[in-house]
C-alpha cells in the first residue's frame, strides 16, 4: 500500500519536473541588448527581400531605435519572400525610394498588438505610413470571432499568421501577402475634387500635346506663354531676316 503510494508519488514528481523543464525550454531567454529587427527576421528565415528593403531604406535602424525609445511598442507585418514574388512583376521597381519607404511603413504599427488585441482594435488602424483617409493609408483589421485575423487595405487582403516573434514590446507577424496601400496601388482618386485642368470645357492645342502626367497644371500654362514668346521671337527673326534679304 505504502509502496504503491510512494511509486505514484514519484511518478507524479517526475511528471511535474518534466513539465517544468519543458516549460523552461519553451521560452527561450530574450536576446541581450536592444531589439534587432534584422536579426529577428534572419533567424525566422524566408524574409530576405524584406530584410534587403528594410536595410536599403535604413528603416531597420529606425525601427530598432524607435523600439528602444518607445513605451508603446510596435507591431510589424512581415511578408515572406514568396509574398513578394506574388506581386505583379516590376511592382517594386516602379516605386520611387520614398514610395518604397511608405510601403514598408505601411507594414508597421506604432503600438504593440497581441493576437487577441486584434479582436478589439478599431478600424481604420493607423500605420507608420501616415493618414488613414480615403485614398491614403487606411488598414482594416477583419476578425471573425475565432482567432483568425485578416487585413484589408482597400487594394488587397492578407491573412495574419502566428507571431514569428513577440516579447510584449515588439510583435512580428507573418502575413501571406504584401499589404498594398491605396495611396500607392489604388485606383486614381475619384472626382470628388476636380482639378482646374479637367474642369475647363475646351482644351487648348498646347494641352493636347503629351505631357508626363506628373506635372501640375501651371507649367502647361507657363509653357504656353513661353511658346507664344518663342513664336514672337521667331516671327521677329523672320521679319528681321526678310528685311535683310529685301
Ligand atoms: C543586427 O543584426 C544583424 C544581423 O544579425 C547584424 O548584421 C547587425 O549588425 C545588427 N545590428 C546591430 C545594431 O547590432
Ligand atoms: C536605448 O535607450 C537607452 C535609454 O533611453 C539609451 O541609453 C541607449 O543608448 C539606447 N540604445 C540604442 C542602441 O539606441
Ligand atoms: C480571411 O481570409 C481567408 C482567405 O482569404 C478567408 O478564407 C477567411 O474567411 C477570412 N477570414 C475573415 C475573418 O475574414
Ligand atoms: C477582401 O476582403 C473583404 C472582406 O472579407 C472582401 O469584401 C473583399 O472583396 C476582399 N478583397 C480582395 C481584393 O480580395
Q: Which of 15-29, 71-85, 87-101 has the lowest mean pLDDT?
A: 15-29
Beta carbons within 8 Å of 235's beta carbon, 6+ residues apart? none
Band of residue 162 on the pLDDT scale cut at 50, 70, 90: confident
Reply yes or no: is the peptide bond before residue 147 cis, omega within 30 of 0: no
| Percent of the chain as helix, strand, coil, to the nearest 5 | 45, 15, 40
CATH class of 37-185: mainly beta
Tens-digit pLDDT profile for residues 64-92: 999 999 899 999 999 999 999 999 999 99
Band of residue 145 on the pLDDT scale cut at 50, 70, 90: confident
Q: Grid coordinates standing for 244?
A: 535683310
Q: Grid coordinates standing for 83?
A: 509574398
DSSP state of 128: T
Rounded CA gap, 35 and 167, in Å? 10
The string of DSSP codes covering 100-115 is HHHHHHTTEESS---G
Q: Grid coordinates standing for 87?
A: 506581386
Q: Is 17 helix (H, G, I), strand (E, B) or coil?
A: helix
Rounded CA gap, 108 and 137, in Å? 12
Mean pLDDT of the chain: 76
Atom of ligand 1 nearest to the CA of 36: 1
Q: Could you tell me the distance, in angstroms and rounded to a whole number, from the CA of residue 159 to the centre of ligand 3?
A: 7
Q: What average pLDDT score do residues 113-129 get?
A: 95
Q: Could you tell me the distance, in angstroms and rounded to a whole number, from the CA of residue 125 to the centre of ligand 1?
A: 30
- The answer to whether residues 104 and 79 touch, using CB atoms and an 8 Å cutoff, is no
User: Best substitution site from 31, 34, 38 to test ligand 2's pocket, by max atoms within 8 Å of Cβ?
Assistant: 34
* pLDDT value at 110 more than 80: yes
Q: Grid coordinates standing for 4?
A: 504503491
The strand pairing partners of 170, in sequence order, are: 74
- The answer to whether residues 160 and 173 touch, using CB atoms and an 8 Å cutoff, is yes
Q: Grid coordinates standing for 28?
A: 527561450
* pLDDT value at 107 more than 80: yes
Atom of ligand 4 nearest to the CA of 152: 1
The ligand minimizing its distance to the Cα of 160 is 3
- Region of residue 58 (phi > 0: left; psi between -120 and 50: alpha; otherwise: beta): left
- Atom 13 (ligand 1): residue with closest C-alpha? 36
Q: Is the CB of 42 under 6 A from ligand 1?
A: yes
Band of residue 227 on the pLDDT scale cut at 50, 70, 90: very low
- Which one, of 155, 147, 164, lies nearest residue 41 by Cα? 164
pLDDT value, residue 228 = 42
Q: Is 95 helix (H, G, I), strand (E, B) or coil?
A: coil
Q: Is the CB of 218 under 6 A from ligand 2?
A: no
pLDDT value, residue 210 = 44
* pLDDT value at 217 more than 60: no
- pTM of this structure: 0.70
Q: Is the CB of 122 under 6 A from ligand 3?
A: no
Q: Is the CB of 70 under 6 A from ligand 2?
A: no
Q: Grid coordinates standing for 48?
A: 530576405
Comparing 193 with 70, the larger pLDDT belongs to: 70
Reply yes or no: is the peptide bond before residue 124 cis, omega within 30 of 0: yes
**Range list of β-strands (E), the chain:** 74-78, 108-109, 140-143, 149-152, 157-166, 170-175
**Range list of β-strands (E), 53-148:** 74-78, 108-109, 140-143
Band of residue 229 on the pLDDT scale cut at 50, 70, 90: very low
Amino acid at each position: 500500500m505504502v509502496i504503491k503510494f510512494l511509486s505514484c508519488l514519484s511518478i507524479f514528481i517526475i511528471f511535474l519536473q518534466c513539465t517544468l523543464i519543458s516549460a523552461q525550454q519553451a521560452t527561450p531567454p530574450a536576446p541581450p541588448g536592444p531589439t534587432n529587427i534584422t536579426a529577428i527576421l534572419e533567424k525566422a528565415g524566408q524574409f530576405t527581400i524584406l530584410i534587403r528593403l528594410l536595410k536599403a531604406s535604413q528603416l531597420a535602424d529606425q525601427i530598432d531605435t524607435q523600439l528602444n525609445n518607445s513605451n508603446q511598442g510596435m507591431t510589424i507585418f512581415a511578408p515572406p519572400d514568396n509574398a513578394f514574388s506574388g506581386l505583379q512583376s516590376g511592382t517594386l521597381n516602379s516605386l520611387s525610394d520614398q514610395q518604397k519607404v511608405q510601403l514598408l511603413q505601411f507594414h508597421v504599427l506604432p503600438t504593440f498588438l497581441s493576437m487577441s488585441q486584434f479582436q478589439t482594435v478599431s478600424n481604420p488602424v493607423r500605420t507608420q505610413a501616415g493618414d488613414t483617409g480615403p485614398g491614403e493609408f487606411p488598414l482594416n483589421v477583419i476578425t471573425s470571432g475565432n482567432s483568425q485575423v485578416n487585413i484589408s487595405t482597400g487594394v488587397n487582403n492578407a491573412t495574419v499568421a502566428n507571431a514569428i516573434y513577440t516579447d510584449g514590446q515588439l510583435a512580428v507577424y507573418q502575413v501571406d501577402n504584401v499589404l498594398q496601400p491605396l495611396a500607392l496601388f489604388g485606383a486614381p482618386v475619384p472626382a470628388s475634387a476636380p482639378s482646374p485642368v479637367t474642369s475647363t470645357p475646351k482644351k487648348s492645342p498646347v494641352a493636347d500635346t503629351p505631357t508626363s502626367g506628373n506635372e501640375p497644371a501651371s507649367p502647361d500654362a507657363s509653357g504656353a506663354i513661353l511658346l507664344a514668346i518663342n513664336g514672337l521671337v521667331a516671327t521677329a527673326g523672320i521679319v528681321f531676316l526678310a528685311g535683310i534679304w529685301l
